[in-house]
Structure 1
């Protein structure tokens, strides 16, 4: 009895020691990379879209419009189905910032509404470019925003969400979302916002670069959404090491995906990169996804696939050259994000990533990871083990075989 008690105390002390060491290493890595810069702390964007107050006060139709903050996307979809096309168009013209960001509203109508919002903001910034009451710095920022809005208004771009509050949020669609047989959503990690989501530098580290590459590999039957709908961390400071921003972003992601399925879109595969996987982990119980794929993940704030409480198949990829592998997988006093989803003990199906390079190379053309992602997105995977309803697991050889078939 005493021997068992002594062994239990010793085991507990060893676990505690490992946890404290891991926490210290996490602090060292994050602090040594960019420092705990308080100035980089971000305030998460929450709440309904801009213009909601005017929307709520609009009784032109003699009915109460669905509250963007409280009405489920399925009920939003039903409301728009009850309107004529002319009535939908009038609503979009009167309230473009709400309709353009209203989960459950028709896809084409959201495109039109966001185009109207972008044109309004472009005109506003064009006037500010030469406003004599503003500083030269204000003029320069206005010119930059005009260029940004003109890029988003280029023919062929499909902007599914546009919110200029904070650092700006946006969602863009590649492919025919309304007619696609398969749909995927890409959720990015740190340093992504309205100005950087489609930057040319580090292309495959941006949601647009990932989305374009995935659609090219998956084929024309697949549509991919690059979603920047939450406030991402800046750098590798405390925001990246804690779950505060992820907790604020998770309900936004869940609602966005629910809005897609309420609009008649197939249940999507959701691809979550880096800190985006923390968002996906917290959103998982409410995420109406067919597959949940994490890559370069620091953790999902869960100990195992079962802890995610999702019916989606869960996949994980991590290449040996990814620096995220140097971050200890621990969660202590709010610091860190828990177990490594790519560890076999987590229970996720493994995605091969031997040919991927670094933290942002998973979607690069020619990689085994991209081939496997395309197979998941197009639903051509055929795991040799049955789904358990909690994500399950599949032999690495199966994922590797699927990737080869897509080449």
Structure 2
């Protein structure tokens, strides 16, 4: 019997690999996750202008960060944001409005740098084009008073944006995206509801603005379908960053009302490995999920409600077998009744990225969950 089970598991793993190949082609490229403190942290910790030590971004938790800024005058806070925009803009626990200001300064500085690179005769035409593309992305993030909660230009780039007012909204939600999301793919006109920005806008509107929604492209996602998408390495790194974001929200916004997580595709692996607790999350919703890196809902905190969205017939993720073997795969299907998640409908949705489209039963259900009415 044991030999049969082993052969069956090996066969399932082989089927999973074949499904990945057939779904979109194997991407051999692997990503190195962006981890650790934000860029500029060394200069921050060496800064003695205020006459007191600044909390080390590598070791200070969000509660310590919040306490530090609470003891500063508005002028001192602003001075730090001006001198160290990339640090202040990425410090979970720092005042939200101060982070918006710091990230606007950081985006403007990075845009100037990229425009200089685009005109540098020592660089290649490909370098010039890449610099122009990034400069344009930074310009769009600076337009119209957008509320950028985090911005990190390292690697493929990371960003988080807030839709609504974190200080006054009744509820808070966080969009945790899956593969192929980064600074340049944070928002796409060709796939408006398949990006964290599009999902966040749709959910914010569906709740009539009563929920502030964070579009969080704050971890290194897999590129394409390949080793990174089939394994948990990037998800584990992302889970640590997600936990820190949620801890920061708890001390800098509304600690009595933790965020609801909406986890798409590979993002549901991130959410599962984060193991949200009631102090960090009011609930977790997964959609287009390949698994959560756990065997069942019983492996997660039972005090945090878990919902799984029914998979529409045109979502290719349904072709990926739910196995977890030799480091490949993400485990049981959250939509299986035996998994233990509460079901949500998907009527009207299409494809892997259509669950937040207006008029779908899934978006209506998400709005109810986000508002605490489910």
TM-score, length basis structure 2: 0.96
1:25-64 correspondence to structure 2 within 5 Å: 25-38=15-28, 40-64=29-53
The residue that corresponds to 1:302 in the other structure is: 294
The residue that corresponds to 1:312 in the other structure is: 304
Give the 3 Å change call, closer, same or farther, for CA 151–213 of structure 1 in structure 2.
same
The question of whether the paired residues in 2 share the 8 Å contact of 1:319 and 1:354 is answered with no
1:365 corresponds to which of 327, 334, 358: 358
SS in 1 for 2:212: strand
The residue that corresponds to 1:149 in the other structure is: 138
1:289 corresponds to which of 281, 306, 311: 281
Cα displacement (A) at 1:133: 2.4
Root-mean-square deviation (Å): 1.4
2:198 corresponds to which of 196, 209, 219: 209
The residue that corresponds to 2:345 in the other structure is: 352
**Counterpart check, 1:260 vs 2:223:** no
More displaced 10-residue stretch of structure 1: 48-57 or 29-38: 29-38
The residue that corresponds to 1:5 in the other structure is: none
The question of whether the paired residues in 2 share the 8 Å contact of 1:319 and 1:358 is answered with no
The residue that corresponds to 2:330 in the other structure is: 337
2:263 corresponds to which of 261, 266, 272: 272
TM-score, length basis structure 1: 0.88
SS in 2 for 1:281: helix
1:196 corresponds to which of 185, 193, 197: 185
Encode CA deviations 1:356-389: one digit per residue, 9 max, x unaligned. 21111110111111000000001112xxxxxxxx
The number of residues matched between the two structures is: 370
The question of whether the paired residues in 1 share the 8 Å contact of 2:232 and 2:269 is answered with yes
Give the distance between the partners of 2:251 and 2:94, measured in 1 at CA: 9
1:94 corresponds to which of 83, 108, 111: 83
Cα displacement (A) at 1:146: 1.8
The residue that corresponds to 1:23 in the other structure is: 13
Give the distance between the partners of 2:109 and 2:33, measured in 1 at CA: 25
Unaligned 5+ runs, structure 1: 1-9, 382-407
Give the distance between the partners of 1:302 and 1:379, measured in 2 at CA: 25
Give the distance between the partners of 1:63 and 1:299, measured in 2 at CA: 47
Cα displacement (A) at 1:310: 5.4
- Larger Rg, first or second structure (1 or 2): 1
Give the distance between the partners of 1:134 and 1:234, measured in 2 at CA: 26
The residue that corresponds to 1:387 in the other structure is: none
Encode CA deviations 1:123-151: one digit per residue, 9 max, x unaligned. 11222232222222222222222211110
Encode CA deviations 1:298-338: one digit per residue, 9 max, x unaligned. 00111111212353111101323121111111100000000
Give the 3 Å change call, closer, same or farther, for CA 71–310 of structure 1 in structure 2.
farther
Unaligned 5+ runs, structure 2: none
1:112 corresponds to which of 83, 95, 101: 101
The question of whether the paired residues in 2 share the 8 Å contact of 1:169 and 1:228 is answered with yes
> Segments of 4+ in structure 1 off by > 4 A?
none
Give the distance between the partners of 2:217 and 2:157, measured in 1 at CA: 9
2:321 corresponds to which of 328, 334, 337: 328
Structure with bigger RCO (C-alpha 8 Å, 6+ apart): 2
Encode CA deviations 1:182-226: one digit per residue, 9 max, x unaligned. 000000000000001101111111001100000110122211000
Give the distance between the partners of 2:26 and 2:345, measured in 1 at CA: 34
The question of whether the paired residues in 1 share the 8 Å contact of 2:27 and 2:223 is answered with no
Give the distance between the partners of 1:138 and 1:309, measured in 2 at CA: 47
Give the distance between the partners of 2:126 and 2:10, measured in 1 at CA: 47
